[in-house]
Structures are given as C-alpha cells and as structure tokens.
Amino acid sequence: MSMYISDEDFKVLFQKYVDDTMTPEEFRQWRIMLLDEANTARLDEMLEALAAVDQSEYGKDAFIYGPQKVRSLRIWWAAAAALLVVIGIGFLLRQRPVSHPQLAEKYDIAPGSKKAVLKLADGSVITLDSASKREIHQGNTTVQQVHGQLNYTGTEDVGINILTTPRGGQFQVVLPDGTRVWLNAASSLTYPTAFKGAVRLVEVSGEAYFEVAKDDRKPFRLKINKQDNYIDVLGTHFNINAYTDEDAIRSTLLEGRIKFNTTLLSPGQQGVLQAGTVRVLNTVDTSAVMAWRNGIFNFEGQHLKEVMRQLSRWYDIDVVYEQDVPDVVFGGKILRNISLTQLLKILEDADIHFRLDKGGKLIIQPK
C-alpha cells in the first residue's frame, strides 16, 4: 500500500512523530508511509536534518571518529527509534506505549563504561575505571593511567601484563612501542612491558581495534584466542573480532597490509576464519565494523541473536529465548550511551516481545 503526501506534509508528520503528538489517524498514515520504499529518501533527509539540530534542544551528543577527521553528531533518542528496525521491505513501527511498567527504572541497567582489570607481571591485580588518574609502578616500568587509557613508558624490564575488560566495559592502552589498542567489552589483551627480540608479540581475545606503530625491523604479530591463528603486520590499522560465541573470527583492514594466517588483506577487505580456512570479503562496510569504537551500535543487516549478543556484552545481561527465535532483521544505528530501558523501548517498537527479570536476565518471548 502506498500513499502520496507532499514534502511539506511529510515534514509536519515527521515533526509530530518526534514530538510524540500524533493522533491515531496521523500515526496510521505515518506507518503506511514508512512501509513505502518511495519515502526512504525523504525520511533520510529528515533524520539528517534532525542530527544537525542544536544539542540544547535535543540532548545526547556522540562523536564519530572518521579516518581523517572528527565530527559531532547529535541524535535524539526518539528519532533513532524511527529508523532503527527494518523488517521485510521497509520500516515497521507500532505506536509507542505511554508507559512501560515492565521496564521500571529500578530494573534499569546503565550502558557500558570505561573499566577494566590490569594484571601485572607479579600477579597483582588493579581495577581500572574512567575516573582514575595515577601511575602504576612495576619494577622499573611505569604505567600511567589517564582516565580510560593506559600509557607505558620505555623500559628495559620485560614482564607480561594482561588487560581485561568485563562485560559492560571497554578500555584503551598505548603499548611500549606506541601501538594504540582499543578493547571492546568482554575482551583481553596480553602483552609484554617491553618488546625484546625480533617480533612484537601480543595476544587478544574478544574484540579490539589496533593502530600499530610502524617498525620495519620488528614486525608486529597478534595471536588470537590462544590458538595457532595469527595476524602479522608492520604498521597498520585493523579490527579483530574473535568472540568465541560468534560463528567466525573476522579481521577487517582499514589501512596498510596484514597477513591473516597465510592470507594477505588489503584496505577495505575482511578476512573471515571458519573451519581453519580464511576467506576474503572484498566489499565490507568498515564504518559498521568500527561502530563500537565510535560509540554506536550498527545493527544493519543483523539478525536478532546477533543483536542480542552485542547487548549482552555491553549491558552485562544474560539473554535467553523461551521458544524459537523470531526471524527479525535489523537495520540502522543507535548510540551506545543510552540505558538498557531506553534501548528495550525501541525493541518494543519493533514488535519484539520480552521481559526483563531482576538480576539482569532478558527473556525473549514468542509473539
């Protein structure tokens, strides 16, 4: 079903949706229009215009870090709900309930934050968070913590450190050679306090983004999940997703060259390791791969279980399914700094049924 409407009337309806002032008849008309692909361009234009409004009017501020520049993107929560879910051929939204009693604030869960645990060479453990600013001494090695980042100074002492983020945490570290690493939630990085020998060897589990300092005389080697899988680089930028609950290990190259086991990758390519074999994807949306580091969920083309694995790691919740998993495909983006309650309200608009139990268990229910 399609319905013609002028650009001016489309803008009026869009603003009423944003302001939550639609009448039932206007909402029926709005829903029909969103299901018509002919209106996609107009909706994109409205969302881009909304993203440019002043923060004092609409709130939340996120920063998108592109390869060459930094720009500010302001997104209002309710507008994000309007583009989040794609089911079938178009946008499907149902009228937002006035209240969500099953999502009472006392059950709400805050989004993830900058937090981690650092295990030193002597076995001692230090809890890290975003607020701390301090120096950590181990022998002649000094580690500076500046809020959500660790910085290692040059040292001759060699010891092994392990940086681990829990579910609901992320952290950054600058290694002794100047390599910068961003750790996503439920991930770990094992590395020496000084790089001696012919190779700079570190080990990762979970997900991380690397900007490797170039050193032609000493290649950088990444071991994955304590297994015989490696990425070899000289100086490059790449992302590695090696969560054990995903169906494959994926390495995406943004800049430079890497070798994933024996397979060479060029910028924009992704190596996918399954059953011991690396296959190369030549067309990859690198902005979607890097969304987590830029403070965004990018659900484009993802199925419900894929989305739920991300939410489980970021909000530190357990997700269970009462029966068969609904066959829902998502699309769009949402900031990662919203609370679980806010995000679940968006899922309700997508006609996903669930309940949130005390203790952080999200139960997905059949329709």
Q: What angle do CA 71, 77, 80 make, to 5 degrees?
A: 75
Angle at 305 between CA 302 and CA 307, to 5 degrees: 50
Angle of CA points 329, 114, 202, to nearest 5°: 90
Domains and CATH numbers, the chain: 113-289 (2.60.120.1440)
- Element of type H or E holding 45: helix 40-51
Q: What's the length of the chain?
A: 367
Identify the pLDDT of residue 253. Answer: 97
pLDDT digits (tens, 9 = 90+) for 309-326: 999 999 999 999 988 877
Tokens representing residue 157 in the block? 């002492």
Distance from C-alpha of 150 to C-alpha of 172, rounded to nearest angstrom: 6
3-state DSSP assignment of residue 72: strand
Using alpha carbons, select from 163, 162, 161, 179 the residue that is nearest to residue 171.
Answer: 163
| Other Cβ atoms within 10 Å of 320 Cβ, number | 11
Q: What is the per-residue pLDDT across 54-103, written as a single tens digit (0 to 9) for each? A: 333 333 333 222 222 222 223 333 333 334 333 222 333 323 333 444 44
What average pLDDT does the chain have? 80
CA distances from 187 to 182, 282, 288, 314 (A): 10, 27, 19, 11
Total-model pTM: 0.75
Contact present, 121 and 140 (Cβ < 8 Å): no
pLDDT confidence band for 197 (50 / 70 / 90): confident
Look up residue 330 and give its amino acid.
F
Q: Please determine, for residue 121, whether its predicted confidence score (pLDDT) is greater than 80.
A: yes
Confidence band of 341 (pLDDT split at 50, 70, 90): confident
Position 13 scores a pLDDT of 82
Written as one string, the DSSP assignment of 202-260 is EEEEEEEEEEPPP-TTS-EEEEETTSS-EEEESS-EEEEEE-TTSSSEEEEEEES-EEE
State how far the Cα of 204 lies from the Cα of 97, in Å rounded to an integer: 43
Task: Give the pLDDT of residue 138.
Answer: 84
Closest by CA position to 300, among listed 329, 328, 325: 329
**Which of residues 302 and 174 earns the better pLDDT score?**
174
